[in-house]
């Protein structure tokens, strides 16, 4: 079976000030994930699973899906507060309004992810070479996971702090993922500042941008991991269950080997509203250079 692409598109875009997964950045109204899907199909992915919320389904259909027409096979999956939550843990919802995070999102899509699959953010541009490399890996190595990491200095925003998963790597495999907040450049150096304490990070540090590859048999372990997360909601009622934390658990306990697929592919994205002008410019440059056609889906 061809690998599957799972697109995380249920985020709320609080720092962006709106749903960045539906912000039109291309000349013909394309959003950033148009280019991701286009690259993934070129690389040999066979199906795309979009994970969204019910409350913006109509807008997603109008802004994104309508352009695809019958260009490829795709499915829609919904991530809601009560999705995949055992009856005995419904009380964990409380007064919560935010989704449960990216690990919960792929759990919601388990029924559609029945082959080796990749996971991406809808608001990140990863580069076509990255899709080809991960597609080949998923076709050849079905017992392992993979990550396509990026250099830290190439993933910062000029507009404010970011959160990144700092990757520990040994002999080509991931050994840990340490989620660090409040990362920003200062006078040519990069720091993570937590509780007033600064930690300097090398520019070449490899970080997770949520570009993962997984075998389809991870879901029993993910189910258990999410249940354990829910059981601790009294301690962290606003916590989110993230993919990097889940992967860190897998590699530290020896439950999954995760290959690190490094390359020179450039990343860009839209964390803050002010980032969109740079994204528009980068897309225009790639289109003028012939990487993408003027109209992707004609």
> Could you report the per-residue pLDDT of 270-290, keeping only the tens digit for each?
877 788 889 999 999 999 999
Q: pLDDT by residue (tens digit) across 206-245?
A: 999 999 999 999 999 999 999 999 888 766 667 889 999 9
* CA gap 193, 255 in Å, rounded: 32
The pLDDT value recorded for residue 17 is: 44
* CA gap 270, 146 in Å, rounded: 24
CA 89 to chain centre: 26
Residue 15 scores a pLDDT above 70: no
Closest to 12 in 3D by CA, of 52, 65, 64: 52
- Give the DSSP letter of residue 160: B
pLDDT confidence bin for 47, thresholds 50/70/90:
very high
CA 152 to chain centre: 16
* CA gap 184, 263 in Å, rounded: 23
What residues does each domain of the chain span?
4-288
Residue 269 scores a pLDDT above 90: no
The pLDDT value recorded for residue 26 is: 86
Parallel/antiparallel/unpaired status of strands 4-8 and 47-52: parallel
The residue among 252 and 295 whose pLDDT is bigger is 252
pTM: 0.92
Sign of CA dihedral 138, 144, 145, 149: negative
The pLDDT value recorded for residue 20 is: 66
Residue 16 scores a pLDDT above 50: no
Query: Cβ(152)–Cβ(204) under 8 Å?
Result: yes
Query: Cβ(135)–Cβ(126) under 8 Å?
Result: no
Cα 223 to Cα 59, 103, 191, 288, distances in angstroms: 30, 10, 35, 45
Instruction: State mean pLDDT over 260-277.
Output: 84
Least confident of 69-73, 128-132, 216-220: 69-73
Q: What percent of the chain has pLDDT over 90?
A: 61
Query: Cβ(102)–Cβ(242) under 8 Å?
Result: yes
233: left (phi over 0), alpha (psi -120 to 50) or beta: alpha
- Domain spanning 4-288, CATH class: alpha beta
The pLDDT value recorded for residue 236 is: 66
Residue 97 scores a pLDDT above 90: no
């Amino acid at each position: 079976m061809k690998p599957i692409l799972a697109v995380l598109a249920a985020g709320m875009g609080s720092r962006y000030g709106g749903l960045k997964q539906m912000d039109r950045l291309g000349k013909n109204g394309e959003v950033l994930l148009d280019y991701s899907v286009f690259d993934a199909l070129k690389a040999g992915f066979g199906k795309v699973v979009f994970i969204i919320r019910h409350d913006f389904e109509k807008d997603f259909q109008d802004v994104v899906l309508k352009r695809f027409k019958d260009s490829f096979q795709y499915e829609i999956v919904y991530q809601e507060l009560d999705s995949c939550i055992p009856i005995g843990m419904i009380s964990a919802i409380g007064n919560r309004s935010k989704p449960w995070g990216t690990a919960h999102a792929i759990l919601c899509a388990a029924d559609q992810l029945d082959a080796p699959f990749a996971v991406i953010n809808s608001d990140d541009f990863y580069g076509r070479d990255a899709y080809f490399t991960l597609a080949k890996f998923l076709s050849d190595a079905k017992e392992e996971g993979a990550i396509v990491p990026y250099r830290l200095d190439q993933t910062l925003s000029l507009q404010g702090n970011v959160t990144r998963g700092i990757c520990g790597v040994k002999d080509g495999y991931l050994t840990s993922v340490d989620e660090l907040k409040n990362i920003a450049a200062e006078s040519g150096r990069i720091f993570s500042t937590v509780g007033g304490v600064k930690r300097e990070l090398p520019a070449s540090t490899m970080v997770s941008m949520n570009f993962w590859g997984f075998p389809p048999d991870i879901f029993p372990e993910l189910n258990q991991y999410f249940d354990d997360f829910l059981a601790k909601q009294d301690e962290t009622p606003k916590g989110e269950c993230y993919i990097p934390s889940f992967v860190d658990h897998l590699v530290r306990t020896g439950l999954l080997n995760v290959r690190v697929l490094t390359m020179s592919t450039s990343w860009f994205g839209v964390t803050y509203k002010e980032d969109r002008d740079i994204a528009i410019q980068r897309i225009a440059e790639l289109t003028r250079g012939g990487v993408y056609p003027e109209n992707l889906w004609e």
